[in-house]
Structure 1
Amino acid sequence: MSRQDSQQLAHTNGYALLSHRIMARISGPGTDKFVQGQFTQHVDEVTSDQSLRAAACTPKGRAYCLTRLVRDGEDLLLDLDASQAESTVSHLKKYLMLFRGTTMETLSAARIIGLIGEAAAASVAGDSAHSLTQPGQTLKVGDSHLIRIENTADNTARYEWWQPTGEHSVPEDAPEIDVEKWQISSIAAGVPWLTEASQEAYVPQMLNLQHLQGVHFKKGCYTGQEVIARMHFLGQLKKSLYRLSFNNTQQPPAVGSKLLADGKNVGEVVNALLTGEHEGQMLAVMRHDASAKVLAIDGMEGAKIQLEQLPYAVPEQQPSDT
Structure 2
Amino acid sequence: MVTPMVLASTAQITHLASVDVKGEDAEKFLQGQTSAHAALANGHFAPLTCFCTPKGRMLANTQLLRLSDNHFRLVLSSSLVEPLIAHLKKFAAFYRAELSAPEDVVLFGAATDDASVIADALNLPLPTVTWQQQSDAQGNSALCYPEDVENETSVRWLFALTDSAAENFQADAEPRRWQLSDVRRGLAWLEADQQDQYLPQMLNWEALGGISFKKGCYTGQEVVARAHFRGQVKKRLARGVIEGNQPLEHGASITNVGEKTVGEVVTSAVNDNGQVELLAVINTKTLEEGKLTLEDQPLTLRELPYRIERLDPEQLAQTIPTA
TM-score normalised over the length of structure 2: 0.85
The answer to whether 1:311 aligns with 2:305 is yes
The counterpart of 1:51, out of the listed 37, 46, 54, is 46
- Unmatched segments (≥5 aa) in structure 2: 1-6, 311-323
Residue 124 of structure 1 is matched in structure 2 by 118
Q: Which residue of 263, 271, 284 corresponds with 1:267?
A: 263
1:225 aligns with 2:221: yes
Partner of 2:236, secondary structure, is: strand
Please, which moves more after superposition, 220-229 or 282-291? 282-291
SS at match of 2:166: coil
Distance in 2 of aligned mates of 1:187 and 1:199: 19
- The aligned counterpart of 1:242 is 238
Can you list the C-alpha shifts for 1:79-109, whole angstroms capped at 9, x where unaligned?
Answer: 232222112101110000111x321111111
2:80 aligns with 84
Paired AA for residue 145 in structure 2? I
Q: Unaligned 5+ residue runs, structure 1?
A: 1-11, 317-322
Q: How does 1:135-154 map to 2 (within 5 A)?
A: 135-141=130-136, 143=138, 144-154=140-150
- State the secondary structure of the residue aligned to 2:165: coil
CA displacement, residues 209-264 of structure 1 (integer Å, 9 cap, x when unaligned): 112221111110000001100111112222211110111x4544311011111222
Cα 1:220–1:23 change in 2 (3 A) is same
* CA distance in structure 1 between the partners assigned to 2:125 and 2:23 by the alignment: 34
The amino acid across from 2:235 in the alignment is K
Size of the aligned set, in residue pairs, is 297
> Which deviations, in whole Å up to 9, do the C-alpha atoms of 1:101-140 show, x marking residues without a partner?
321111111122112x222221122499896332211122
Most deviating of 22-31 and 270-279? 270-279
Structure-2 change in CA distance of 1:27 and 1:308 (3 Å)? same
What residue in structure 2 maps to residue 282 of structure 1? Answer: 278
| Paired residue secondary structure (1:94) | helix
Is the Cα–Cα contact under 8 Å of residues 11 and 109 in structure 2 kept in the other structure? yes
What letter is aligned with 1:34?
F
Aligned counterparts of 1:69 and 1:119: Cα–Cα separation in 2: 26
CA distance in 2, matches of 1:282, 1:158: 20
Matched, 1:201 2:197: yes
Moved more, 276-285 or 67-76: 276-285
Q: In the superposition, relative to structure 1, how do residues 315 and 22 fare at CA in structure 2: closer, same or farther (>3 Å)?
A: closer
Contact kept, 8 Å, 2:124 with 2:136, in 1: the verdict is no
- Aligned sequence identity (%): 29
Q: Distance in 1 between matches of 2:92 and 2:240?
A: 39
Q: Write out aligned runs for 1:181-196 (5 A).
A: 181-196=177-192
Which residue is 1:161 aligned to? 159
Corresponding residue SS for 1:40:
coil
Shift of 1:269: 0.4
What's the offset of the Cα at 1:296? 0.3
Structure 1 residues 28 and 131: CA distance shift in structure 2, 3 A = closer
- 2:174 and 2:271 map into 1 onto residues whose CA distance is 13
